[in-house]
Amino acid sequence: PEFITVSNLATIMHVPLNKIIKSMEDLGFENVRHNYILEKDNAILIADEFNFEAIVLNANTVEDIFSEPVKPGKLKPRPPVVTIMGHVDHGKTTILDYLRKSSVVEQEFGGITQHIGAFTAITPESKKQITFLDTPGHAAFLKMRERGAIVTDIVILVVAADDSVMPQTIEAIKHIKKTGVPLIVAINKCDKHGVNIDKVVGDLASHDIDVEDYGGETQTVRVSGKTGLNMDKLEEAIITLSEMLELQTEPDGVANEGWIIESKVEKGVGYVATVLVRRGTVKNGDILVAGNTYCKVRGLRDENGNSIKKAGPSSPAQVFGWKELPVGGEFVIQAKDERRARKAVSHRIAREKAIKQREEVEQINEQRSEEV
Ligand code: GDP
Ligand code: MG
């Protein structure tokens, strides 16, 4: 049988996940989440709701490269991918730096930390892995967001205890509600004297956050990015929530998938891109397609500059060997061989060109009709 997760369907159709979930609920599906697995007939039904004609392709005749159906037997838990949001100066960077450093110290051979757009932390107590994305304002994120990509599993909303809810906090809350991504509140700067934490909790509640303090589901953790107060609690809160979410993927046995987080040209090395792996495990020799370019993986590096042999689910890795500079935010998918990768890229370029030409023609027609 053929299967697909709701989030993969969202990615393929470029439709926001919450819209799909809403439409599924309207159709009578229950308890739908991003990792909900659909069988073929239901996937076709839902695709139809969005005016997509679902064609289940025979692997040998696929012209482009597609996300492989879910293999339920191969699903394993995967670490959460976390983004931090909040008002300017409320302490996002300070918190990320604290988490990054406290984790690097644990690594014996940790080299010099590089900013590659994401990093992995190991929780002090439960020794679980958490991946933090550290460039949320980045163009790559806007692009992924626009496509409805669900890169982030959990959002940490940072609110400074001495400033409470501010315009960008409200923006973040709106975004979180819209995408339906689960959230944890970090009330920051709790080391400061005279801060009124109860007021912050009240302000959050009045902005529709169902804080646990009032019997709701949203965890609130009182932290200080500066002194490290309760930062371990924040990490454990992330683990608790991620276990509830039952995040899963296939670490092997499927074509690799992921996202380009950022990319650059490095002297003597060429094009380098940070790939956040979502499914499968990327290793040397793999062929990856991203947007209008592809890569035969020549090497992998972690955020500490160490060479690594492979990168599994939820792990960010710098990947070398791209033919062109990949664009941040692009979806990454493995091709069986270079021939298929080249074919996919040329198809995509041709398709883009055709779309552009059609738009130009439409524009001309519009202008002409206005002139008449
Ligand atoms: P961002 O704009 O959200 O990234 O905020 P920053 O991390 O740059 O922090 C803004 C300012 O608040 C800086 O001067 C930080 O040193 C300070 N700050 C951040 N977190 C804390 C905290 O927990 N306690 C105190 N006292 N100051 C903090
Ligand atoms: Mg900052």
pLDDT digits (tens, 9 = 90+) for 3-41: 788 888 888 777 888 889 999 998 888 888 877 788 777
Nearest ligand to the C-alpha of residue 85?
A: 1
Find residue 155's DSSP bridge partners.
Answer: 83, 183
**Ligand 2 center from residue 176 Cα (angstroms):** 19
Mutate to test the pocket of ligand 1, among 226, 230, 231 (most ligand atoms within 8 A of CB): 226
Find tokens 């996002």 and name the residue: 92
What pLDDT sits at residue 4? 80
The residue contributing the CA closest to ligand 1 atom 14 is: 89
The Cα 183–Cα 192 span in angstroms is 24
- What is the Cα–Cα distance from 70 to 12, expressed in whole angstroms? 14
CA of 231 to the centre of ligand 2 (A): 18
Q: pTM value?
A: 0.80
| Alpha carbon of 139 to ligand 1 centroid (Å) | 24
The region of weakest confidence among 98-102, 254-258, 363-367 is 363-367
Residue 324 to residue 50: CA distance in whole angstroms: 34
Amino acid sitting at position 258 = G
State the pLDDT confidence band at 61, using cuts at 50, 70 and 90: very low
Residue range 171-190: mean pLDDT, rounded: 92
CA dihedral 53, 56, 59, 64 (to 10 degrees): 10
The ligand whose atoms approach the alpha carbon of 84 most closely is 1
- For ligand 1, atom 25, name the residue with the nearest CA: 189
pLDDT at 89 over 70: yes
**Is the CB of residue 248 less than 8 Å from the CB of residue 292?**
no
Cα 236 to ligand 1 centre (Å): 22
Question: With bands split at pLDDT 50, 70 and 90, how would you rate the model's confidence at 211?
Answer: very high
What residue's CA is closest to ligand 1, atom 9?
91
Could you tell me what percent of the chain has a pLDDT over 70? 88
CA distance 372 to 367: 9
pLDDT at 329: 86
The closest of 121, 192, 114, 204 to 159, measured between CA atoms, is: 204
- Asked if pLDDT for residue 260 goes beyond 80, the answer is yes
CA 139 / ligand 2 centre spacing (Å): 16
Residue 120 belongs to what H/E stretch? strand 118-122
Mean pLDDT of the 152-171 span: 96
Instruction: Please report which ligand is nearest the Cα atom of 87.
Output: 1
β-partners of residue 142 are none
Q: Which ligand 1 atom is nearest residue 225's CA?
A: 23
Q: Which atom of ligand 1 is closest in space to residue 96's alpha carbon?
A: 7
For ligand 1, atom 6, the nearest C-alpha belongs to 91
Residue 232 and residue 219 in contact, taking contact as beta carbons nearer than 8 Å: no
**What ligand is nearest to the CA atom of residue 137?**
2
Distance from Cα 365 to the centre of ligand 1, integer Å: 54
pLDDT of residue 59: 38
The reported pLDDT for the residue numbered 138 is 63
User: What's the residue count for the chain?
Assistant: 372
Name residues contacting ligand 1 (CB within 6 A): 86, 88-94, 188-189, 191-192, 224-226
What is the CA(135)–ligand 2 centre distance, in A? 9
CA of 97 to the centre of ligand 2 (A): 10
The protein residue with its alpha carbon nearest to ligand 1, atom 11, reads 89
Residue 98 has pLDDT above 80, yes or no: yes
Span of 35-39, 224-228, 331-335 with lowest mean pLDDT? 35-39
Q: Which helix (H) or strand (E) holds 276?
A: strand 270-279
Most ligand 1 atoms within 8 A of CB, residue of 94, 133, 197 to mutate: 94
pLDDT value for 203: 98
Distance separating alpha carbons of residues 161 and 106, to the nearest angstrom: 30
183 C-alpha vs ligand 2 centroid, how far in Å?
Answer: 19
Distances (CA, A) of 185 to 179, 194, 226, 362, 366: 17, 20, 17, 47, 49
Based on its alpha-carbon atoms, the radius of gyration of the chain, rounded to whole angstroms, reads: 22
For residues 304 and 109, give the distance between their C-alpha atoms in angstroms, rounded to a whole number.
9
